[in-house]
Amino acid sequence: MRECFEVQDTDAGGRIGDLTVPRADVTVETPALLPVINPNLDTISPRRLADEFGAEILITNSYIIHGDDNLRERAREQGLHELLDFPGAIMTDSGSFQLSEYGEIDVTTEEILAFQREIGSDIATPVDIPTPPDVPRDRAAADLETTQERLAVAEDADTGEMLVSAPVQGSTYPELRERAGRHADETDLDVFPVGAVVPLMNDYRYDDMVDVVAAAKRGLGGDAPVHLFGAGHPMMFALAVAMGCDLFDSAAYALYARDDRYLTVRGTRALEDLEYFPCSCAVCTAHSPDELRALPDDERESELAAHNLHVTFAEIRRIKQAIRAGNLLELVEQRARAHPTMLDGYRTLLDHAAQLERSDPVSKGAFFYTSHESARRPEVVRHHQRLERLDVPDTLLLTVDRSAPDAEFDAAWRVEPPFGPFPRALSKSYPLTAEVPDRTDRAALEAAADGVARLVAANPEADVTLAHREWPADALERVPDDVELVDLTAERA
Ligand SMILES: [Zn+2]
């Protein structure tokens, strides 16, 4: 077990956890948002972040502080917590971002780690190499080797109580990301940022982002706290949490405010396009869009940043509540409807349903079938796995009707889309208590047919009959040939 992180509750790949930050003497509940503080620009003061928004942790850049004579000396004298006036935990970045933007920086990992410790950082970061997407594999592998050397330096450094992060790189190569995750997990470092995903998000490549995170997660252990580095738009938090990300940092709230952009969980809006505010935060209830537009630039920026933070923190709370209630994937489905690329992200997440299934609770409140993507959820994958372990009698009727067992058969089992068949004894257990629409869709029927096929494949000696009601040919084609088919609609007619 990793001492600094304890998982309290899970749903799909998402979890509520406690990140213990010993140097700050703070326990941060995850999923958590780390607002990014630029030490030179105070859009919203760190004190206000703590008092008004409930921020337990923030992130600032030690490289910027190190490179500014005035800030550096003040940070050395007062320490970061006093410099920023923030009572929670403070994570520091190392200049890796500047390295990726400008090609070089003038500190080594040893120097910047020592500096982060000196100024009182609670979670430090070594200088890793953020490899952009789509570079040649050789370069991604070579960069990764350098990152791994830096992690070894960080392991050897005298860092005391300070936690140290171990970034996971590997560009858009899943096998490199997985290997990087495994290597990072084997170090004695503490927090695991998945790095260099910002270009993917800037290009709306949520499908590739999901693949990258899924690969990193396969390498990392289940007890590793995972930070999605640079991901600050609330629209994608639910998706990322469902993949198993625990920490997010947001510079977006301030950067977007500077450009008069208004964050929502369904995407970004230009302030000039808004006639009404779809939000009930303090900013949006006190101002109309017209009034906000009429404010002087700096006031407007500050008000917009406050709204952006409110909506961002609210989404984190909504996600935590969804994990507690066991309906995180229903929330992801809602968010996926905001943009076609988010839907691609969700569909890609479902490609990893078997991976998510491992941390998905066996029982939750209720399974709501709210889109045809629901047919691919981890609960369906698990039920299909379970079908292989059930005892099957010699002759078995599988029926979509709730009618009593037919005397011709040793037993009759219900068939419920999208899960497929199950014995009566399981009918009251999760997820078979699912709420599904009366107007079943093809994806649900096909998944149910796949369940029948799984059951038959595991029990080739059984004599199985499937009584369905007008199942389409696409679904019936998935049922093995030796299953006898009866269409109940035709029978009744
Ligand atoms: Zn608002």
pLDDT for res 365: 85
409 plus 353 within the same structural domain: no
Q: Is 166 annotated as a binding residue?
A: no
In a shared domain, residues 424 and 279: no
The CATH number covering residue 202 comes to 3.20.20.105
Where in the sequence is the domain holding 243, given as residue range(s)? 5-357
476 and 391 within one domain = yes
- Model confidence over 294-318: pLDDT tens digits? 999 999 999 999 999 999 999 999 9
> Sheet holding 420-422: strands in order across?
420-422, 411-416, 395-399, 463-468, 484-487
> Is residue 493 situated within a structural domain?
no
Answer yes or no: is 266 within a domain.
yes
Instruction: Over range 255-276, report the average pLDDT.
Output: 98
Q: Are residues 212 and 148 in the same domain?
A: yes
pLDDT band at residue 492 using 50, 70 and 90 as cut-offs:
low
Q: Is 281 annotated as a binding residue?
A: yes
End of a domain among 327, 357, 387? 357
379 confidence band (pLDDT: 50, 70, 90): very high
Q: pLDDT tier at 493 (50, 70, 90 boundaries)?
A: low
Structural domain count, the chain: 2
**What is residue 351's three-state secondary structure?**
helix
77 part of a folded domain: yes
For residue 490, name the pLDDT band (cuts at 50, 70, 90).
confident
Q: Do 187 and 129 fall into the same domain?
A: yes
User: Model confidence over 188-198: pLDDT tens digits?
Assistant: 999 999 999 99
* 446 pLDDT more than 90: yes
Cα of 296 to ligand 1 centre, how many Å? 18
The single-letter code of the amino acid at 451 is G
How remote is the CA of residue 312 from the centroid of ligand 1, in Å? 10
Give phi and psi for 184, each to the nearest 5. -65, -40
Of 303, 323, 357, the position where a domain reaches its end is 357
Using the mean position of ligand 1's atoms as its centre, give its distance from the Cα of residue 287 in Å. 9
Contact 5, 20 (CB under 8 A): yes
Both 13 and 60 in one domain: the answer is: yes
Determine what percent of the chain is predicted with pLDDT higher than 70.
Answer: 99
196 is in an annotated binding site: yes
Distance CA(233)–CA(231), nearest Å, equals 6
pLDDT (tens digit per residue) in 382-416: 999 999 999 999 999 999 987 766 789 999 999 99
Contact 192, 168 (CB under 8 A): yes
pTM: 0.96
Residues noted as catalytic: 93
pLDDT grade, residue 32 (50/70/90)? very high
> Residue 168 domain-assigned?
yes
The whole-number pLDDT of residue 331 equals: 98
Altogether, the residues listed in the chain come to a count of 493
Q: Are 245 and 374 members of one domain?
A: no
Residue 492 is assigned to a structural domain of this protein? no
Distance 187 CA to ligand 1 centre (A): 42
Tell me: do 366 and 319 sit in the same domain.
Answer: no
Residue 392 and residue 338 share a domain? no
State whether 276 and 370 are in the same domain: no
Cα 283 to ligand 1 centre (Å): 5
- Residue where a domain stops, chosen among 289, 324, 357: 357
Instruction: Supply the pLDDT for residue 99.
Output: 85
Query: Are 127 and 178 part of one and the same domain?
Result: yes
Question: 427 and 323, same structural domain?
Answer: no
Q: Is 245 annotated for ligand binding?
A: no
CB-based burial label for 389 (10 Å; 0-12, 13-18, 19+):
exposed
pLDDT in tens, 256-266: 999 999 999 99
298 marked ligand binding residue: no
Q: CA 311 to CA 314: how far, in whole Å?
A: 5
Residues around the ion ligand 1 (C-beta < 5 A): 279, 281, 283-284, 307
What per-residue confidence (pLDDT) applies to 404? 62
Distance CA 369, CA 462 (A): 31
Q: Check whether 179 has a pLDDT greater than 90.
A: yes
